[in-house]
Each structure stands twice: as C-alpha cells, then as structure tokens.
Structure 1
Amino acid sequence: MSPGLLAGQVVVVTGASGGLGGAMAQVCSRAGAQVVASGRHLRRLDALYQKILAEGGQIQLYPLDLEGAQPADHQQLVERVIDEYGRLDLLVHCAADFPGLTPMMHADPAALARALHVNLTARLWLTQAALPALQAASGAVVFALDHAERGEQAYWGGYGLAQSAQHALMAMLRAELHNSRVQIHALCPPPMPTALRARAYGHEVAQIARPLEVAAAWLDNRYRAAQV
C-alpha cells in the first residue's frame, strides 16, 4: 500500500466501530487521509481513535446510530465535514445490520425494517447528502456489501433483500453519474471473523481473512487501478 495514496484527502467511514469499518479507517489513515469515523459503539470508536493516533494518523469521531438517524442527520454529518475540512473525497459504507438467519414467516417486523433501513436506506440517504461534495472533489463511494444472491436465498430476510437492492442502487448511480468523476465501488469481502458473520456461521472454524487484510487489499487494488 502506498503510504501517501490518500494524502490530503478526507474520508468518512460508517460502521467504524465494527470490524471492517475500523479496518478501513485504519488503512485510510495509514495512506495519509484525514478520517472521520462514524459508528454507534462509543467505546469501540474511542479504541479506534487511540489506535490511529498512536500510529500518527489523523482521525475525528462522529458518533451516529443509523437506525434512528433521519436525512437531516446525514446532511448535518456532511456539512460538518465540509465546514471542518473544506472537502470530502471518499465515503465508505461499512455500517450493517444482520439479526440472524430466520424464516420470513417468523421474522420480527421491526428487525426486518431495521435491516432494510441500516443496510440500504441509511446508505442511500448519506450518499445523497455527500454527492455534491464528492462531485466537487472527483471522489468515490464504496459500498461494503454481500453478494446480490443473498436476496434470493432462504432465511436472509431484510439483510438479504438489502444486498440485492444495493447492487441495483450502485448500477443506478453509475448510470446517473457516468458523466461525472464520482466513482462507485463495491467491496464484497471474503469471509471474515466479524460479529455479523458469526450470526450466520457460528460453527465456522476455518482460517478466514482478517478485516485489516481485506481493507488493505482494497486500497492496494485502487492504487494499482489509478496507475493504469
């Protein structure tokens, strides 16, 4: 990974109190970015903050629970970033909600709605709020997500439906933004030892990728693509 790949850039990472979100915040910081880390678990955010500061990185915390956040809250996040730094270059969506595998006929309606909102609607609202600033900076949006086929498989509920819809959303954004310099990326990570995966594969014991490895590999691939 090039240490200066993101030098001078401002990156917002949601779900930064989770495994992949925290890893993305770390690798972006190591690449020279000013990171704005958003999440809902304050102690985990603080631990991430201390870790990045100890590495000499730049990080600011923005606690936000996407389950209850309204469009105005997403707009306020972006406005505060612009007020503080004058730009936004990269938005990384890592916040996710997965209550577990459940037959649809037995799924809790509130859990279904929460999974659809956190995994889809909240991401869409924040992307909408961020697009003007991203267009000005020729920036990018990264959607960390699962395979689209989850929406066609049994028991994945609102989480699975949101994965299929996110793939459609990315295709829509690419079509609408094809004349702009905003890039839309999908990050479909391999199996990782995260709390989300444990809810579906609690029996899993095989060696699987670590979030830091996944995040660093994504940034390396982005760097190589920019050199072509």
Structure 2
Amino acid sequence: MSQGDTTAEAINPPQQQDQQPGLETQMHPKPEFTPKFPGNGRLEGKVAIITGGDSGIGRACAVLFAREGAEVALIYLNETEDAKITAEAVRAEGKDPLLIRGDIGEQTFCDNVVGKVIEEFGRLDVLVNNAVEQHPQDEITDISPHQLQRTFQTNIYGYFYMTQAAVPFLRAGATIVNTTSVTAYRGSATLLDYSATKGAIVAFTRALSANLVDKGIRVNAVAPGPIWTPLIPATFDAEKVASFGADKPMKRPGQPNEVATCHLFLACDESSYLTGQVLHPNGGEIVGG
C-alpha cells in the first residue's frame, strides 16, 4: 500500500476463502488487532470470556482486555492456528489465556466453558458474545433449512446458551457485551438470515439489560459496520472483498482494533451508566434514527 493510500482496494486486495468462519492466517494484509494505546488497568482483576476469540474482533478484544489487566478465555470453533497466534499475543501482554475449542451452538458446550473458566480463574466478570457466521444468498428461497438453522444456532442460540451458563456466576458490577451488526438496523439484501439474527441480538440485549439490571449486571452491544476480519473473504467473492467498505463515508473498512475499544468501554466501569445500549463503529453510516 502506497504512503497515504487508504482506499478500500489498497487495504483489502482481491482474495477469497472457501470455509466459514474464515482464517486470519490466510488474509493479506493481516487485520490490525494490536491495541493503539497503553493499558490503564481498566479490567484489572477481572475475568472475561470471549467467544470467537481466535481472530478478528475477538482477537482484538482478547489482546486489549489482557493489556487492561483481565484474564481471558478464548472460545473458538476450529481455527486452531489462529487461536494459537491470539494466545501468543495475549501472553505478550502478560496474561496466560485459557483456550477452549467447540461449538457455542451446543448448550452443553457452553455450560462446560463456564465451568472450566470458574475452575481455572475462580470467577467470571465479563462475557463477550462475539462468535458469528454468515452465508450470502441472492434469494430467500436459496436459504436452506440447514443454513437457517446453523446461522441462528451460532448467532443467537449461542448467545443465549453462553449467557444462561454465565449468569449464575456473575456478580453485581459484571458486564455482558454482545456483538451485533449494522445490518440489524438497515438490513442486507443478500444476508437475510444473518441480518435477522443481528436484529434479534439487539432485542436480546435490550431485554436482557432490563432482566439483569436489578442484579447490578449491565448488558450492552456493539454494532460494527464493515470490519476487515476473516469473515469477509470467507463470505464474499474476490471482487466484493476488494471494494469492501468503499461505500461508507470513510471510504474504507474498519480494523478490529478500532472496534475492540467499544467492547472495552462497555465492559469496564467507564460505562457505568450505560445498559441496554448499542455503540456503532461503522465508518460514519448513520443508522437507527
């Protein structure tokens, strides 16, 4: 990329992957996940679970949370090499992460995750529901029952299952941060089932915040726009990847470390008067009225 060249194609040249949820090791250039600022102890003494913690936004959250003092558990589906790289980045911040592989769409797995975290760290303070999958289709009739089931199983059932497992161990002052999407607000013509799950996450966030507020547990969400993560080349063809983010006011995709700061803010006490809210790191797109 030439000096000062921030066009979408310069940032994300044409490329494509043939598996979901995608591998960061195969991307070029690599997404930017390293925190931009020194830590300030915002999560000192806290323990966080991050689903989809192997790459993309999850990786950026894991490293940033570790820099801010948290112990982190990284939950991932099958991206073992990506998870190892994230773990090394977390260790570079002085923390030894707990890596757990499995499918959050299975309730028993989510129960086991929380059990292992409590056994390892003795407490749980932050849950980041972040794992996702998406499968574009031009027509609603092209969405198979299997695709519909898988998309909902990962994107919303997994959020429910992880939350159900975590809540009995969360104390007053704990936080839950859900990753939704700009598509929850403006839709996507080719991501019908994905957009539906992201809208469900917004509603889930608002309802859960009301349900848990008397226990002193805050629940908020982050709705990213076009972010340069493995999900992009794993979802779209090379031509679409090359123009990804170019139609936004900032004319480029965002980087994971530009989103993780929102998760951090909602996870720590700096957002102590926010619950049931959604932050929008999306490159300048105005959504939600």
Same fold? TM cut 0.5: yes
Please state how far the C-alpha of 1:106 moved relative to its aligned partner: 1.1
Residue 51 of structure 1: aligned partner: 89
Match of 2:57 among 20, 23, 27: 20
Distance 1:227 1:169 in 2: 19
Q: How does 1:1-228 map to 2 (within 5 A)?
A: 2-40=39-77, 41-67=79-105, 70-134=106-170, 136-147=171-182, 148-149=184-185, 153-198=188-233, 199=235, 201-202=240-241, 203-204=243-244, 206-220=251-265, 222=268, 224-226=270-272
Larger radius of gyration: 2
Please state how far the C-alpha of 1:178 moved relative to its aligned partner: 2.4
Distance 1:101 1:194 in 2: 20
Query: TM-score normalised to the size of structure 1?
Result: 0.89
Distance 1:219 1:23 in 2: 10
Query: TM-score normalised to the size of structure 2?
Result: 0.71
Identity %: 27
Distance 2:100 2:46 in 1: 17
Aligned length: 224
Q: Mind listing any 5+ residue stretches in structure 1 that lack a counterpart?
A: none
Structure having the higher helix fraction is: 1
Q: Which has the higher contact order (CA 8 A, sep 6+)?
A: 2
| More moved, 15-24 vs 1-10 | 1-10
Distance 2:82 2:127 in 1: 20
3-state DSSP of counterpart to 1:58: coil
Contact 1:88 1:133 in 2 (8 A): yes
Residue type at the aligned position of 1:33: A
Q: 1:214 to 1:45 in 2, by over 3 A?
A: same
Residue type at the aligned position of 1:164: G
Q: 1:174 to 1:224 in 2, by over 3 A?
A: closer
Q: Mind listing any 5+ residue stretches in structure 2 that lack a counterpart?
A: 1-36, 275-289
Contact 2:63 2:93 in 1 (8 A): no
Distance 2:224 2:202 in 1: 14
